[in-house]
Structure 1
Amino acid sequence: MADPVISLVVERTGDLLVQKFVFLKDAGQQVEKLKNDLVRMRCFLKDADQRQDEDERIRNWVSEIRAAAYDAEDVIEIFASKVEFFTKDKGLVTKLTYYPLKIVNLYKIGKEIESLRMRLKEIADSRVEYGIKNLGEGMTTHGEELQRLRRSSPFNEDRDIVGFEEKTKSLVAELLKEDKSRRVVSIVGMGGAGKTTLAKKVYNHADVRERFSCRAWVCVSSSYDHKKILRSIIKQLNPKDDKLYEMLEKMEEEELEERLYQDLQDKCYLVVLDDVWKEVAWDCLSRRAFPDVGTSSRLLLTSRNREVAVHADALSIPCELKSLGQEDSWQLFLKEALGHGANAGCPPDLEGVGREIARRCAGLPLAITVIGGLLLRKKKSKTEWKNVLNNFSAHLSRSLSEAGAILELSYADLPANLKFCFLYLGLFPEDSVISVRKLIHMWVAEGIMQKRDAKNLEESAAYDEVERLCSRNMVQVAEMTVDDRIKSCRVHDLLRELAIRKAEDENFFQIHDTRDDEISAKSRYLAVHSLPLDKNYFGSSTPPLRSLLFFNIHGYMENISLSFKSFRKLRILDLENVEMGYNLLEEIGEVKLLRYLGLRGTSIPRLPRSVGCLRYLQTLDMRNFKSKVKVSNFIWKLESLRHLYAYDMECDVPLKIEGLRNLQTLSGIRFEDVIHNNMITLTSLQKLGIVVDYRSEIDKLCIHLSEVGSLKTLHLYCNTESEWPSLAGLSKLHHVTELKLFTSPFARTMLPPDFPPNLSRLSLKGTFFRNDPMPVLEKLGQLSFLKIEVAYEGPQHMVISRHGFHQLKFLELNNLYGLDEIKVEEGALPQLQRLRIRDCPDLAKLPEELKHITSLDALELVSMPEHFISRLDADTVSGVPNLRIF
């Protein structure tokens, strides 16, 4: 697998050539030659990649190519931006004035490309010295060693298994179901979650052995050999037959499939396919080898990829191993760290620190086993255990040894773009809950997602990559929306350590997390987790940074000395929660390639006027909840802007935003500024958040927005504590399908007299109603999603009447103090799929009528009091397939 960074840079260089052709045409031939040089170099990387582990010189060689590839992209993009400035939208006189500058820049890029090509030639010539060849794709030597370490067997069942009793019982029941058809039962989870361990327990279960006299176990792995797998199963079905074994070695693939089919044809068989990575592997095996002839046969499949399990049998719900619970984690930890048997206690002086170490393992059996094995070899002293806790990640990383192969295989199997995305997640601190929306904006700004044939495809592709990483169990879902969208995610410490280790091997990024760290002059991606007291933060170093991210730098009152002239290659600058309280330097306008500027929670009083020079800026986040941010009238100049997030922007004159044709999200703009702009010119606008007060004329606003055909989401935020304005006129918004009403506490409002006619999603937050809102809301004919949060002050009960909400699929009730009863009449909510009740402390019980809603798939109870949980009526919840209590 070629280096993920270089693969992406080569693609982006080609895309740049297409996108900027009109500005690069005079240097296009040179750029094309440079791109071809990089493509040729990528061929040799396939051999170099497999040998990086054995020779540091080869790692350095790959690093040199990577640096050259980045420099090539920077040179082309910086040059194109300058020539674009000289020529775009300029009159003839201006173009003639700038012509000499254009010629000078053409000469400069020619010299720089010539220098880069010479550099690449020298790198290519040096490969002979290291014996690097041009190989085709194939399993690497290092990869084969990882696979060898990973091979599984149904024997030697793990004695230290903890917490799988219910899972085992459920899987055994699934295998023994009275169903004559051949079915596939799957176990999915991240590497080290215990899939193989659980499969062994099920495979060796007495009831399973009794039902399936014909059984076989085979480890498929990521580089499966179809013939070898078929032979292995046949041999297990025909033990001690040397003549057959010899004949099998001579058989072709089709003959092996036919023989296995015959062996299984009249049997009630169970075959375990452990560690299946790809859908094509399942297709190869299931195509002709496993008969489905009404004998109640079963296949038990384990995989890290949920998509593989669903592909194998769409009717079977995979058993997902997420993580061990707190008590199960503790019991496994005690076994591993102290070597005691079941239910053995922990020395009192070690229990506190021990439980914290177990908690840091986040329920992953592999992590508990690794860190427990380390402690088993150490003195049983509080000092030793505290040392491990205080340096948890470092100890965990050093102790991985062979266990690390389990996770490294997951990384090796990722395609180049997903490897890049995964490595990028390593920049975030331990235990970070990462906003998926923010991550998507960053990945798009990095150019990881390539736009192909439709608007907004990059954002959609980026979300798909988050889902793929979660599906492959490389990333954990932290929070879902009630309608099953991933809202935030996190990376387990073990996988984060893997990302950091791989990133260091490939010189991908640097994390500055102690005051003594030195900033490398070669860093392209830098995450700052700790700031020194010395104001000269970067010293004499001026690394060619593309991303500069600050995390957890709260209350840092010193001026962060960022000389933006030194960071002209920056694409991403994220200063979220660095409470500066002072303005950015005007030099920010010199960072011409900047695409993402994160200033959320920085408390900056004013945005520099020079931000208007950032013509490539895609995302600007300046939400400051403690104070307003003043801006000059330059937003209209940001022609590439896609997402603008503010809390309450303030401008001395009506803010001009007309003509921003790429703008998709505009949040935190004042009512007055919307009214003074021709919103029809914002042809890509999908989400609009407006700050209103009691004087705002909502009817006039709705007339103004009714012709913005792309607008789908409208968010009205009332910043007054007195009363909402009249909400008349919403029925004019035929294009709007999602409405959010959000206010500061204690503002009183009545429900709107009418709603957008095609409304399917409604969120009410902080809007205190004196009367039960359900009689009005349940009549919204197309409503499929309803969320009510801190939005209720009426009677102590809500009533959903017969046939109310006949299209509603997702309902969330959040933080509704005073609500003690929900009445649901028979026939209500006929299509409800998911109900989430969060932090409603006065609610006495669930409505009994839930048991009659056959469509209800999931009931989630979040932060509900213990007395509520303890009084749950079994009859009410027994019919819900997924009951989740957080």
Structure 2
Amino acid sequence: MADPVISLVVERTGDLLVQKIVFLKGVRGHVERLQNDLVRMRCFLKDADQRQDEDARIRNWVSEIRAAAYDAEDIIEIFASKLEFFTKDKGLVTKLTYYPLKIVNLYKIGKEIESLRMRLNDIADSREEYGINNLGEGMTTHGEELQRIRRSSPFSEEKDVVGFGEITKSLVAELLKEDKNRRVVSIVGMGGAGKTTLAKKVYNHADVRARFDCRAWVCVSSSYNHKETLRTIIKQLYPMTNELLDMLEKMQEQDLEQRLYQDLQDKCCLVVLDDVWKEEAWDCLAKAFPDVNTSSSRLLLTSRNRDVAQHADARSKPHELKTLGEEDSWQLFLGKALDHGANVGCPRDLEEVGREIVRRCAGLPLAITVVGGLLLGKKELKIEWEKVLNSFNTNLSKSQSGVSAILELSYADLPPNLKFCFLYLGLFPEDSVISVPKLIHMWVAEGIMQKRDAKNLEETAAYDVEQLFSRNMVQVAEMTVDERIKSCRLHDLLRDLAIRKAEDENFFQIHGTRDDKISAKPRYLAVHSLSLDKNYFGTSTPPLRCLLFFNVRYYRKNISLIFKSFRKLRTLDLENVKMGYNLPKGIGEIRLLRYLNLRGTYIRRLPHSVGCLRNLQTLDLRTYDTVRVSNFIWKLESLRHLYAHEMLCDVPLKIEGLRNLQTLSGIRFEDVMHNNMITLTSLQKLRIRVDDRSKIDKLCMHLSEVGSLKALGLYRTPGRGWPQSLAGLSKLHHVTELQVSGRDLRMLRPDFPPNLSRLSLRSTSLTDDPMPALEKLGQLSFLKLESTHWGPPHMVISRHGFHQLKFLELSRLYALDEIKVEKGALPQLQCLRIKYCFDLEKLPEELKDISTLDTLELVDMPEYFISGLDADLVSSVPNLRIFDSPEERMQ
């Protein structure tokens, strides 16, 4: 599909027609004709998409269409917003007063749309002027050419392979296993990670050659041809004759499938399916591979898409190719870049620049191979190596078989919404660890999921993150206990690709140095460095939809933004930006704003004008201080997520009636009690500030009818003690997750939500062992105890205690010196994480008897503790991970 931005904008204009039909009915015909023009233009762009990489004229032409599409959406949404203001929630007299303004605005939008349609017609007519005719006729597309170059063969096996020793052994062992059912052994990884290289190594392994009578290798690729693939496999199973060739050419698909099916039953054969992109390609091939009584033949599959591998054989866990470590990368580089190979080592004067080149390759074997091969043809002179380093991206891109071309195939295969999401990741700084919840809120604000169920937009966005991960377009930085992606990062070379594509399409600009000039064209702007000049945008302000600030925490001066200049903004991220204590009242001018992040700022007060932001979906007020707000929150009818440490209002804060609100954090006990919480029909997560006057039993009764509520957090207001009792929690049948945080909580009552599965106790002052009370929670699967001040020196988990617990974390329990686990306890435990428990002498020996224990993580524990680990325990746990700091866990 041509241009992801245009595709999404066309969809969104249709959505706007549906959503704002009441306010646009006076110009509905104009809007529908405009949308039809855009749809026709998008259909034509399918051909242009394949050629715009090669032809600047086509690229410019597509850019004009994109700008017009953006303007179309802006015009419709801005005017709909104005008309909505004139008519919604107004009395009859007010509506009559505003009626002339409504008529004027309807006339204006009609004129604007007609002008835009004329502009689109002019763009369409300009094809001849640009020399753009008969696109796609009789020519090989860029994508097809890349696919042809990438077609693999098993015969050119790499000699200088490093880092694949263990995984090769594992793959060979799995292929040689006896099994009567069809098994598909899979290798997955991002483009250029070495999947094909590894498959060749396995294919040509001595044990594999000895075991299988015949072997066949076929490159499937994204442009999959079923007939040709079947013929290619069959040709490798028999000596080639003219009769066989003639017969195969005449056979239909069904006959070829039947022939291959019979051949594989009679032979002991290994078939490699290299570079499988789609599940549909496997489904076609699967019919030709016997699925029972096939103990002799085996399949080895490589793919960039983890879902394809799991779809082919759900019982086999794919072998994932990670990027190379620092030393393996260096050895591979030396083997490719030096005439004498890696054995002699690197000349001393070249080592520094050589290691910097390797660092820029970020562990990707293909990048190292391409750059190493480039250096091999040059003299071993420092000046030559520095030239290659200084033009690193150019060197990787200029060869059709280079890294950029290979990664580009993965990008080209993405559907429009995922292309948009991938490009969006390029806005974040290099090596950023990106919070997935934050990313999800941003994507929802961008409206790329509007055609799906409005209540599940966040789930849809989370699925898109999973899809990018599954396709190896993003890397996981941290997973949650229930194996959802908590944070991610973008490989440096993929980030370069995203930036290059985005710049080609005028999608975004990165303001990366103080000397950069901000262009008037981009709709998305990421500020990575602030200019000393306060006039950041020069004489003209770009028509921004998204403005993000990064790495500006230590900028000395307060920044100032004239908000009325950014009326088209949907996303504004001011995290860690220094901008004074009061948010300017001009923020209310940005009526289309959907995402506002003030986290990490020093803002203490929000103006009443924030109540004008009727489209706002996410408001993050986790600032360095308590935030004072006027009583306007109830007006933010689109609000889905409100985050704060604590909000103060001079009167009881009204929130009832917010039917879209899913997350509410930082609200005081008194404000909750003054609202009819049943009206918050979408509320799932609630975090409340409590103090010594709060009546928890009354709170629980008040919340007991909020059926959507799943997660509850109780936090002590600083300087005020805990309520006398936490009684009443057992009334909350819907709550499955509970967090309790704050000093002066000295004891626990056995009174918890009956369906509780996740519990976190943080910064408490428990004097007694909490385990006897907690281990009886029948459905508890996740338990985290963190920063218990003073606390008990001993903890005892009794026999059959925590019979459903899968994850246990003990963190910063400074007084804890002993843990006892009785035999039969923790029968389902999968992961034990211990962090900063400096007085803990040893782990209980009984852990080695827990057969389900898969992972033991030890973070910043004393050296004597690590050296004293029981050898039998260490050998019984499949995954032992020892980290010196939390940052290491992210690697």
TM range (shorter): over 0.9
Match of 1:786 among 777, 783, 786: 783
Which whole-Å deviations, capped at 9, do the CAs of 1:238-277 have from their partners, x for residues lacking one?
2332331233222221222222223222112110101111
1:765 paired residue among 762, 767, 779: 762
SS at match of 1:44: helix
Other-structure match for 1:507: 506
How far the C-alpha of 1:348 sits from its partner, in A, is 5.1
Q: Deviation at 1:826?
A: 2.1
Which residue of the partner structure matches residue 478 of structure 1?
A: 477
After superposition, where does 1:178-577 map in structure 2 within 5 Å?
178-290=178-290, 292-338=292-338, 340-347=340-347, 351=351, 354-355=354-355, 357-373=357-373, 402-453=402-453, 455-577=454-576
8 Å CA contact 1:667, 1:690 repeated in 2: yes
* CA shift in 2, pair 1:584/1:394, >3 Å: farther
CA distance in 1, matches of 2:88, 2:465: 36
Question: Which residue of structure 2 aligns with residue 697 of structure 1?
Answer: 695
User: Quick one: structure 1 residues 218 and 848, their matched pair in 2 at CA, closer, same or farther if it must change by over 3 Å?
Assistant: farther
What is the distance in 2 between the residues matched to 1:114 and 1:204?
Answer: 66
Q: CA deviation at 1:409?
A: 0.7
Counterpart in the other structure of 1:173: 173
What amino acid sits opposite 1:755 in the alignment? F
1:532–1:300: structure 2 CA closer, same or farther, 3 Å change rule? same
1:661: which partner in 2?
659
The corresponding residue for 1:850 is 847
- In structure 2, C-alpha distance between the alignment counterparts of 1:815 and 1:323, rounded to whole Å: 33
1:803 lines up with 2:800 in the alignment: yes
Equivalents in 1 of 2:383, 2:655: separation in Å? 61
Cα distance change, pair 86–353 in 1 and its aligned pair in 2 (3 A): same
Residue identity matched to 2:626: K
CA contact (8 A) 1:446 1:571 kept: yes
Give, in whole Å, the separation in 2 of the partners of 1:342 and 1:816. 49
Matched, 1:155 2:155: yes
Per the normalisation by structure 1, the TM-score is 0.94
1:86 maps to 2:83: no
**What whole-Å deviation, never above 9, does each CA across 1:135-194 have from its counterpart, x for those lacking one?**
79x997111111012111112211221111110111111111122322110011111111
Are 1:606 and 2:612 counterparts? no
Structure 1 unaligned residues grouped into runs of 5+: none
Q: For residues 340 and 434 of structure 1, do their structure 2 counterparts lie closer, same or farther at Cα, with a shift above 3 Å needed?
A: farther
Alignment of 1:40-51 (within 5 A): 40-51=40-51
CA contact (8 A) 1:44 1:133 kept: no
Structure 2 residue identity aligned to 1:247: M
The 2-side partners of 1:691 and 1:239 are apart by: 78
Once the two structures are overlaid, the 10-residue window that deviates more, 246-255 or 304-313, is 246-255
Letter in 2 for 1:161: V
What is the 5 A alignment of 1:590-669? Answer: 590-625=589-624, 627-669=625-667
Tell me if structure 1 keeps the 8 A contact 2:557–2:578: no
* CA deviations over 1:687-739 (Å, ceiling 9, x no partner): 11112233333223222222222211111122436753232221222221110
Worse-superposed segment, 523-532 or 707-716: 707-716
CA contact (8 A) 1:693 1:718 kept: yes
How far, CA to CA, are the matches of 1:475 and 1:114 in structure 2? 42
Distance in structure 1 (CA, Å) of the matches to 2:761 and 2:530: 40
Q: CA deviation at 1:74?
A: 0.7
Of residues 532-541 and 642-651 in structure 1, the stretch that sits farther from structure 2 once superposed is 642-651
Q: Return the alpha-carbon distance in structure 2 between the equivalents of residues 504 and 485 of structure 1.
A: 31
The CA deviation at 1:798 is 2.7
CA–CA distance in 1 between the matches of 2:155 and 2:214?
16
Counterpart-to-counterpart distance in 1, 2:97 and 2:328: 74
The C-alpha deviation readout for 1:454-508, integer Å capped at 9, x for no partner, is: x521111000000000011000010011221111000000000011111111111
Deviation string for 1:123-142 (max 9, x for gaps)? Answer: 12223443444879x99711
1:792 to partner: Cα distance:
6.2
Q: How does 1:875-886 map to 2 (within 5 A)?
A: 875-885=872-882, 886=889
Tell me the distance in 1 between the aligned counterparts of 2:460 and 2:254: 39
Contact 1:535–1:559 (8 Å) recurs in 2: no
The structural deviation recorded for 1:854 is 3.2
| Structure-1 separation of matches of 2:749 and 2:674 | 25
User: Residues 133 and 874 (structure 1 numbering): CA distance in 2 closer, same or farther, change over 3 Å?
Assistant: farther
Counterpart-to-counterpart distance in 2, 1:869 and 1:128 = 73
Question: Cα 1:812–1:347, aligned 2, differ >3 Å: closer, same or farther?
Answer: farther
Q: 1:778 to 1:509 in 2, by over 3 A?
A: same
Letter in 2 for 1:804: G
> CA 1:353 to 1:580, structure 2 compared with 1: closer, same or farther past 3 Å?
farther
Q: Which residue identity does 1:172 align to in structure 2?
A: V
CA contact (8 A) 1:2 1:49 kept: yes
2:738 counterpart SS class: strand
Is the Cα contact below 8 Å between 1:722 and 1:747 reproduced in 2?
no
- Give the deviation of 1:645 after TM superposition: 0.8
For 1:827, the equivalent position in structure 2 comes to 824
Deviation at 1:836, TM superposition (A): 3.2
TM-score (norm 2): 0.94
Alignment-derived partner of residue 68 in structure 1:
68
Distance 1:292 1:693, change over 3 A: same
CA deviation digits over 1:65-122, x for unaligned, max 9? 1111111111111111111111112121111111111111110111011111111111
Q: Which residue in 1 is equivalent to 2:672?
A: 674
Matches of 2:8 and 2:14 in 1, distance apart? 10
What amino acid sits opposite 1:653 in the alignment? V
Offset at residue 541 of structure 1 (A): 1.8
Displacement of 1:444:
0.4
Q: Deviations over 1:332-390 (max 9, x none)?
A: 23334445534544455655665555445433223333444456567767787778778
* Cα contact 1:564–1:587 (8 A) shared by 2: yes
Distance 1:399 1:295, change over 3 A: closer
For the aligned residue pairs, the C-alpha RMSD in angstroms reads: 2.6
CA gap 1:643/1:380 in 2 versus in 1, 3 angstroms? farther
- For residues 417-466 of structure 1, the C-alpha deviation after alignment (integer angstroms, 9 at most, x for no partner) is 0000000000001000000000000000000112534x521111000000
Once the two structures are overlaid, the 10-residue window that deviates more, 203-212 or 751-760, is 751-760
Query: Do 2:188 and 2:309's aligned partners in 1 also have CA atoms closer than 8 Å?
Result: yes
How far apart are 1:323 and its partner, in Å? 2.2
User: Which stretch of structure 1 is more off in the superposition, 147-156 or 255-264?
Assistant: 255-264
Unaligned runs of 5+ in 2: 883-888
| 8 Å contact kept, 2:397–2:403 | no
Name whichever of 51-60 and 328-337 sits farther off. Answer: 328-337
Give SS of 2:186's match. Answer: strand
Number of residue pairs aligned between Structure 1 and Structure 2: 881
9 and 242 in structure 1: CA distance in 2 versus 1, 3 angstrom threshold: same
> Quick one: distance in 2 between partners of 1:199 and 1:497?
27
1:751 aligns with: 748
Classify 1:552/1:395 alpha carbon distance in 2 versus 1 (closer, same or farther; 3 Å): farther
Cα distance in 1, alignment partners of residues 389 and 815 from structure 2? 43
Q: Which secondary structure does the structure 1 equivalent of 2:764 belong to?
A: coil
Alpha carbons 1:593, 1:617 under 8 Å: kept: yes
Change (3 A) 1:487 1:581: same
How many Å apart are 1:824 and its aligned residue? 2.4
